[in-house]
Amino acid sequence: MCGRRFRVAGICSFAEGMKLYVFTSQPLDIARSALSAAATGSEKFMIPVAFFLIKHPKGNILFDTGDNDKVITDPTYWGPSASLLDKGVKADLAIDAQLAKVGVQPSDIKYIILGHMHLDHAGNIGKFPKATIVAQRDEIENAFYPKPLVAMFPAISLICAVGAATWPIPSPQSS
């Protein structure tokens, strides 16, 4: 950690004017049994879906983009799986509205870093056509070339998030 007690010359430095913001996207209301094989029954709980903005002098960075905001006006946008989530959605949680609260527009985002490509993390990447997207190679390969019975959600999330946008698509043979 960088800080007064742990600062090591040449390893950590803080950019003047850098700020971190934490936002909440559309929450998920999901059964515990859908997330863990050890859980049974249909008891549900709310999972906050966060995304983060780093305002940096060299360019703004988003970590994750939350759920696709199209679910605000179309609860069926995620398809048949949406009924498993019973999401409560609000227009003021749209990513554009959230960023505007701190004076940032989608065109102001230079980089998007995706923790992974599930639809609740990469859902809004299509709103940032000028941003450079940073993702793990395995996540991209799973999204475009999923192995049988593996990584269904990343493939779905990328289709929902990107839509008509274009990416440099890796071939499954490339390393």
Q: Looking at beta carbons, which pairs linking 80-86 to residues 24 or more positions away fall under 8 Å?
A: 81/156, 84/30, 84/31, 84/34, 85/28, 85/29, 85/30, 86/29, 86/30, 86/44
Strand 19-24 with 50-55, pairing: antiparallel
In CATH, which superfamily holds the domain spanning 19-162? Ribonuclease Z/Hydroxyacylglutathione hydrolase-like (3.60.15.10)
Q: CA torsion sign, 126 to 64 to 113 to 12? A: positive
Decide: pTM greater than 0.85: no
Rounded Cα gap, residues 123 and 158, in angstroms: 7
Every domain of the chain and the residues it spans: 19-162
DSSP string, 151-169: -HHHHHHHHHHHTT----P
At 128, the pLDDT band (50, 70, 90 cuts) reads very high
Q: pLDDT, tens digit, for every residue of 11-39?
A: 455 667 789 999 988 877 777 777 777 87
Q: pLDDT, tens digit, for every residue of 61-110?
A: 999 998 888 888 887 777 776 655 555 678 888 999 999 999 999 999 99
